[in-house]
Structure 1
């Protein structure tokens, strides 16, 4: 057994803590906010490797997460559901590398606007239910939670004396590790009453802006934006009006549906997902961040990669 401190309590931090505790490690999570106040709670949380480069490692983690979420979907308490939907494209040769992580895809019917697409069934998580369930599972495994603002990995390591430390704090990870390649990707959503929709649809290349419709049991998450470099977490009424125009054009059944809530989240962008050993510290430090809009999509796969690294004698020397 090793004592491991995990910095971050969003979907990545919780998943890492779960896998480490399951492997028998003594785990503590340190974060200045819980999952309900993190960007994870804002996410539409439909499986798709969005805002990340589709490297072999990313697609492997996406596939592993798909399989885990598919199993969890059998338990209603998790808030995970398997839902059919469509990924639209407006390119002559779209990137379909992500399909290797999905068991089956079929061409979508042609659309009047010329967009083509692929249909598939993927996991979708009701964020409030899923994050609450995951936090409960982690607590049941004996993981301890500490509320604190972490400003120095070295100081935290000296205070806790862990055998290993994992930085999984989203946008806060870069500054903690001296990594200047991280940046925010501002995402704004509006949640409408659900008129009975069950299928999701994404239109990343909509000429009017990023557009997606993700129905849940009691609402529909409608988006969105992908403003690279923006730290603005205020609701912008003009952006919301644009989102509503786009989603109603894409899914006419949404026209006239009342707004239930609205939110803004800052996705943790980076030049590439970082999962691995961070040199230069007295004790072993590991990174797990830079997931862009794919935190839920990569969570279990990357958590398993971190657990394997910590269980490897070579990386813990």
Structure 2
């Protein structure tokens, strides 16, 4: 419990906020999450989603966060109710990748280079490997259930500013994602994503295009549905599906797997990823309160969620102090 005797306050109920709340609550801490959006209405719910290498900064800490998260998701895959499963698939590029792989990729136990006949037309290089895939609506429900089972309180009640949060608790964990600009960080920016969800025509392997382009192909099968991506457009606050984007996503993905050309559309999803020069997990002292920031994960919020949540929880209770510079 915080020094004032009040619960630790976590602001935000996307995957980062919920996971942080779970870690704190399951450690025995009284925790309250306040959120402007229901978990299934957050950006996290629009994610594909998979664990994979996160090319973010600071690199040494990102590697540690990704490693802890990989272990958690691998264990969760043993629980059919979690929404997590292990799947084989391909990560491919239209350019030659070279021989250096991100350090996190070494966590993939069966990672290997693709043979030429395993690459779709137009792709020059790639890797195959088994990774955790996360069905986000089911997984967010799983986190909510765990949080409440551990005694956590989840309130649909927005926190307008940091001052409002510290007036409620002397320990605050800021998991507001792109909303962190309201908490005084002008460096966070929206990276707009849009995905198309279709009935699964029999796909059980994932596919991810490795590219710096803002348009790419991604195929994430989750049981009877497949989430297709995608786009990544910076500084775009539009949270509604744009006409024509879904058609482009379907076209790119059908070039990878023709079965997707006529797959029944279920819907379109939009999320605003929290872009930042580096992920922020650190302590700030604000009006006598301890504020732990945990945001800025870009498109890797899921992949880093458990590692960042565990570090943020440690910082919240005063362990492993890392203060803002």
Is the pair's TM-score, using the shorter chain for normalization, greater than 0.5? Answer: yes
2:128 paired with 1:122:
no
Q: CA RMSD in A?
A: 2.1
Report the CA distance shift for 1:284/1:316 in structure 2 as closer, same or farther (over 3 A): farther
Compute the displacement of 1:222 (Å).
Answer: 0.7
Report the CA distance shift for 1:218/1:102 in structure 2 as closer, same or farther (over 3 A): same
Decide which of 274, 285, 290 is 1:284's aligned counterpart.
290
Question: Is the CA contact (8 Å cut-off) linking 2:86 and 2:133 kept in structure 1?
Answer: yes
Gaps spanning 5+ residues in structure 1: where? none
Indicate the larger mover: 97-106 or 190-199.
97-106
2:46 paired with 1:39:
no
Residue aligned with 2:90, SS: strand
CA shift digits 1:238-289 (9 cap, x unpaired):
1111111111111122121121111111111111110011234311101000
Question: Is the CA contact (8 Å cut-off) linking 2:291 and 2:316 kept in structure 1?
Answer: no
Compute the displacement of 1:140 (Å).
Answer: 0.6
Decide which of 23, 28, 31 is 2:27's aligned counterpart.
23
Decide which of 157, 161, 165 is 2:172's aligned counterpart.
165
Report the CA distance shift for 1:313/1:66 in structure 2 as closer, same or farther (over 3 A): closer
2:226 paired with 1:217:
no
Aligned pairs for 1:1-317 (under 5 A) are: 1-2=1-2, 3-50=7-54, 52-53=56-57, 55-93=59-97, 96-97=101-102, 98-110=104-116, 111=119, 112-158=121-167, 160=168, 162-176=169-183, 178-205=184-211, 209-312=215-318, 315=321
CA shift digits 1:170-197 (9 cap, x unpaired):
1112321x11111111111111111111
Count residues in correspondence: 314
Q: 2 CA distance for matches of 1:241 and 1:297?
A: 27
Compute the displacement of 1:78 (Å).
Answer: 0.7
Gaps spanning 5+ residues in structure 2: where? none
Indicate the larger mover: 228-237 or 215-224.
228-237
Question: Is the CA contact (8 Å cut-off) linking 1:50 and 1:292 kept in structure 2?
Answer: no
CA shift digits 1:218-240 (9 cap, x unpaired):
11111110001111122222111
CA shift digits 1:5-52 (9 cap, x unpaired):
000011110100111112221111111112111011110111124573
Residue aligned with 2:122, SS: coil
Indicate the larger mover: 138-147 or 272-281.
272-281
Residue aligned with 1:61, SS: helix
Q: 1 CA distance for matches of 2:63 and 2:108?
A: 10
